[in-house]
Amino acid sequence: MSKLVQIAILPRQQEDLEYILELALEKEKLRRDGISDWRIRKRSIDARRKPIKINLQIELWLKGEVRETIPPFVPQNVSSCKEIAIIGAGPAGLYAALRAIEAGLKPIIFERGKDVRERRRDLAAINKDQIVNPESNYCFGEGGAGTYSDGKLYTRSKKRGNVLKALEWFVHFGADEDILVDAHPHIGTNKLPKIITSMRETILENGGEVHFNSKLTDFKVVDSSLKAIQINGEEWLQFDNVILATGHSARDIFYLLHEKNIKIEAKPFAIGVRVEHQQELIDYIQYHGEDDNPYLPPASYALVEQVDGLGVYSFCMCPGGIIAPCATEQEEVVTNGWSPSKRNNPYANSGIVVSVSPEDLPNYKEDDPFVCLDFQKLVEQRCWEAGGKTQKVPAQRMIDFVEGKVSEDFPKTSYQPGIVSADLNEVLPSLLSKRLKKAFVAFGKKMNGYYTNQAVLHAPESRTSSPISIPRNAETLEHIEIKGLYPCGEGAGYAGGIISAAIDGINCVDAIVLKRAVSYKL
């Protein structure tokens, strides 16, 4: 049984492995010849006060103990095995397919968008020409929204499944082993496409299938059981187990389910703006003036405030990052943020969003599943109009926003399509703007220097999560009304990021395996 030891070191000492080991041994009163192996298991920065420290969790194997190495991913050829359909090639869909290959099921993925290489052209068209392809964009395509939006792997969903397994699979397919150690692991948009491609190649090599430009357009349900799906409005394919992992922006799927009288529900979500500061300012604030320390990474932050009964908080904070255009239709604008692996851009951005429940909205109706989605669409369309009906976004300096002044000029921002000066108090519904104004003032008191007119608000940040949930049975993970339909991941309301979505994909396949085992015994 290995021992876990907690130690703290200075940032400049984190590469000195001999010193780290000696410190751990000294704390446990052990000699070097009393252990057989060791490793750094967890690493985090403690910047609450000076001097800034690195907290380490060290794992020690005592003499005579063996450090087991278990292969993280063990595939089998599933060419002739039972087939399951997976709709969507985001983290939930890809991990479902990989788990299926482990479990002896043949996954067949249908992805409405393109592969990671072809997808780049459509992203360039959004940034340079402001043309949105509704089937291939930052949200739709191989790898889903996560591929080109940072690759943050932090999750609080420890009870939903095996987080370590999900991270180990990323390492198996090419991610740096540091993601197994860092408290807030991050891959980087520049590295994710290669990892996603490796996952797809493994699926194909072991008998699975991946079909791009293949959009789910209909279901066939008989006696409350799923029997077939239609792809691209033409081909009908028979499946009795379908994992629906379409992501938080596949609105057409919500409308299709509603038309087929398959139950969906409105759910709480969050919406606001994406704020951009200079990274050097965030470093100065968070590192208490020790921002020139070469051993410290670009600083991040996390903020939360209760304002008039609703939570306002930072979301998807991107140190050294870029703000990207993430609309999925032409007549809307949406922002999101991402960072490359080195997080070496001069900007820091974060969503600052208001947590909204269906009952909070002025258009609330008890039985309307689209109440939150309609509000989300309204905000995106109003921002599109305020931005000049292009992919430019309405923007405002932070203090100008709070004081109700239209900004006359702006510092340079990372948002490539461009910004248009607007009073966001007039663009955003008062439900959002009034709370955001109070929150920014409060955040400035928590982080001295954060509340500044050098910060630019880009509107809106609206795709934090799905505004609709697809209810499922807590035990079987099937839809509460339709057997064989497995709502999965962010789009169904059961995940909030890459890792939680990946875990949910694994869980859905495990539920199918269990159902087949029970049926076989019967």
**Cα(431)–Cα(117) distance, integer angstroms:** 40
**Residue 99 confidence (pLDDT) above 70:** yes
Give the residue-averaged pLDDT of 59-83. Answer: 93
Assigned token pair, 458: 């880009």
Q: Give bridge partners of residue 108 from the DSSP assignment.
A: 85, 209
Name the residue type at position 377: K
Q: What local confidence, expressed as pLDDT, does residue 514 receive?
A: 96
CA distance between the termini of the chain: 41
Assigned token pair, 415: 């948002």
**Cα(400)–Cα(403) distance, integer angstroms:** 5
Helix (H) or strand (E) holding 57: strand 53-62
**Cα(283)–Cα(292) distance, integer angstroms:** 9
CB atoms within 10 A of CB 298: 22
30 neighbors 59 (Cβ within 8 angstroms):
no
Give the residue-averaged pLDDT of 180-191. Answer: 88
Give per-residue pLDDT as tens, 411-445.
999 999 999 999 999 999 999 999 999 999 999 99
Q: How far is CA 498 from CA 252, 302, 467, in A?
A: 22, 19, 18
Give per-residue pLDDT as tens, 43-58.
999 999 999 999 999 9
Q: What local confidence, expressed as pLDDT, does residue 154 receive?
A: 73
**Residue 521 confidence (pLDDT) above 80:** no
Q: Could you tell me which residues come within 8 angstroms of residue 212 by beta carbon, excluding any fewer than 6 positions away?
A: 89, 111, 113, 114, 115, 118, 142
Cα four-point dihedral sign 419, 423, 425, 426 = negative
Give per-residue pLDDT as tens, 382-399.
999 999 999 999 999 999
**Model pTM score:** 0.95
Q: What local confidence, expressed as pLDDT, does residue 519 receive?
A: 65
DSSP assignment string, 17-55: HHHHHHHHHHHHT--GGGEEEEEEEEEEEE-SSSSPEEE
Which single residue is written with the structure tokens 């969903």?
A: 157
Give per-residue pLDDT as tens, 295-329.
999 999 999 999 999 999 999 999 999 999 999 99
Give per-residue pLDDT as tens, 484-515.
999 999 999 999 889 999 999 999 999 999 99
Q: What local confidence, expressed as pLDDT, does residue 293 receive?
A: 87
Give the residue-averaged pLDDT of 97-117. Answer: 97
Which single residue is written with the structure tokens 């320390």?
A: 293
Give the residue-averaged pLDDT of 254-279. Answer: 98
pLDDT over 70 percentage in the chain: 98
Residue ranges with strand state E in 478-519: 485-487
DSSP assignment string, 141-193: STTGGGTTS--B---S-TTSS-HHHHHHHHHHTT--GGGGTBSS-B--TTTHH
Q: What local confidence, expressed as pLDDT, does residue 157 receive?
A: 59
**Cα(365)–Cα(385) distance, integer angstroms:** 27
Q: What local confidence, expressed as pLDDT, does residue 291 receive?
A: 75
Q: What local confidence, expressed as pLDDT, does residue 466 receive?
A: 96
Q: What local confidence, expressed as pLDDT, does residue 147 receive?
A: 81
Give the residue-averaged pLDDT of 140-160. Answer: 76
Reference 229, options 82, 94, 86, 113; nearest CA is: 86
Taking each helix axis from N to C end, the angle separating 116-124 and 192-205, rounded to the nearest 10 degrees, works out to 140
Give the ranges where 248-350 is alpha helix by DSSP (H).
251-259, 279-286
Which own/partner pairs from 477-481 qualify as long-range (CB within 8 Å, at least 24 positions apart)?
477/507, 477/508, 477/511, 478/511, 479/262, 479/263, 480/263, 481/224, 481/262, 481/263
DSSP assignment string, 222-235: ETTEEEEEEETTTE
Cα four-point dihedral sign 139, 142, 144, 145 = negative
Q: What local confidence, expressed as pLDDT, does residue 69 receive?
A: 84
The chain-wide mean pLDDT, for the chain, equals: 94
Q: What local confidence, expressed as pLDDT, does residue 82 receive?
A: 97
**Residue 522 confidence (pLDDT) above 50:** no
Q: How far is CA 427 from CA 44, 269, 396, 421, in A?
A: 40, 19, 11, 11
Domains and CATH numbers, the chain: 3-62 (3.30.70), 83-264+468-520 (3.50.50.60), 268-368+375-461 (no CATH)
**Residue 520 confidence (pLDDT) above 60:** no
Q: Could you tell me which residues come within 8 angstroms of residue 498 by beta carbon, excluding any fewer than 6 positions away?
A: 91, 146, 151, 152, 153, 155
Give per-residue pLDDT as tens, 452-496.
999 999 999 999 999 999 999 999 999 999 999 999 999 999 998
